[in-house]
Structure 1
């Protein structure tokens, strides 16, 4: 087992293309070809987590928050970032982080919050745009089903709650093979007409290589004709935040008490209880104030997130309840997501969830 194998299992779920521009997800310390003796999963990489990995004999740490956001100019041990990185390097321990990319996928941080709360009819609150591509290709009629199925297996054709989505029309394709051609149908040097299926489907851009590979592997022609178009449609399966509904409306105060218990929050800071009951709930792991207006536009009764500043609470304008459960509190279960991804792929491998509480905020 090598680091690249562990990284691949995570990035198949949370592609790097989904991280925000300010982020620094990925392998921060280490070599992709390094063999892995064990993994420690945490929210924040701090010195005590590296020491924990040393004690466990693990040489890879998977974290939600990148230990390095900006370039380090010196390694003098003057702050916890420098000391943590230095300790990891000295002990040959790799550090990998999946941050806003694991925030931005189905099954990621926000959906984990939804599931813990018990929300149904879940949707991405702020879908990503300019992420989808359309593939158009032309296949002989007798091979259309085979090519179509291969593309679906590769990840094409997913729209919302539907898969295997495509559109096909029949037409006449023409071509003439040159002297060095080995045509699947027709003769070299002669114009050939073939009844073909024009097949169209969509896919997220991070799957482009996989999609083209599946097309070329399963298409019978020596030279495969295909077009790829960029789409402006939102990708409803990727983006930040989520919104869903409770099975039945819940008293607002009771709901606030319940999420305080679920997320083990020292306190829940909230705006005025402007709704007696809540049913439609928006959520965002970590710092979610930037999604407040999305939550309001979606007619959420309450928005559960962390890190709201004083003046940002005014922005609710009495239209919904803001419930700030804390940054660490809203993201702590991200460790379980990583654990499930890695152990599902590698069930007989040493994976440990860190026992270190890295929350820098305490409550009296």
Structure 2
């Protein structure tokens, strides 16, 4: 009976950990890091951790009066200068990473976040407005310093960073990061403590939305770049019920491509307009040799105008592809009213996944697809 009870306890504990401790937001302050150490030290919970994103607590004056009596939890203290100077935050990160190594949990995505300390993050579940401390709102404005602390901890523990996660609340924070050379290069670097086989996730959180809009970027030592779940379309897609972060995605992708040399490119679950495609890949046209498109929607640069096969024409005329793999490709032409679209799927023209090898075969295949699509419209 005791064995049965213990097994039930372990099963329920694991299920609980997989829900509540898989994705951890941490502030580099003692109370938050103590919780992280406890979770990672737990024999079951420590194996459930999938992502740890860190932020550095800073405070700003409230613009409006805020009634702290409405807060249903203790306010988060700021990172004390003494704790920071003594590198106590790095020591606790080292302990947490060693705990994960002890459990054999080496596939944890590590990274930084620029979230305001709202109810959904940082390990504190509070009801109501932003977390305050002595009349200030707790925010994070030190993404570069946070990443530096995390890199120190991974270097000290030799913890392999196979996966990175960067979570941004707004474009303004992304601007600060891009202007910082250290974090600019570290985000996509495969050197140092970052392994050459790296998966990068960039989350863009809209206000207090519970679910971030994510970019998945995979970089491998085989000169391969995989981009997943990226919407590269105009604002018209918002009318069609699709989320869009066009400007953020374009800038981040340009950043990734500028810092990464690759020959293999995989685009999955994306919507692309020709103008954006050209903007993002114009400096990489000569290096892309092998392209895979899966579940990709293409459209003309100006909705309702131009040729709906512009993207295919761009692939044919501008890229020197040696292989092309197509699966579930949809060409979209916008109707005059701007709110409805008529769609044509290449699956109607070519059934299933098709692989074309050699530059000549790729060119011929694209010519056929362009001709058939144009005749359809």
Per the normalisation by structure 1, the TM-score is: 0.25
- Higher relative contact order structure (alpha carbons within 8 Å, sequence separation ≥ 6): 1
Which structure: greater helix fraction? 2
Q: Which has the larger radius of gyration?
A: 1
Per the normalisation by structure 2, the TM-score is: 0.24
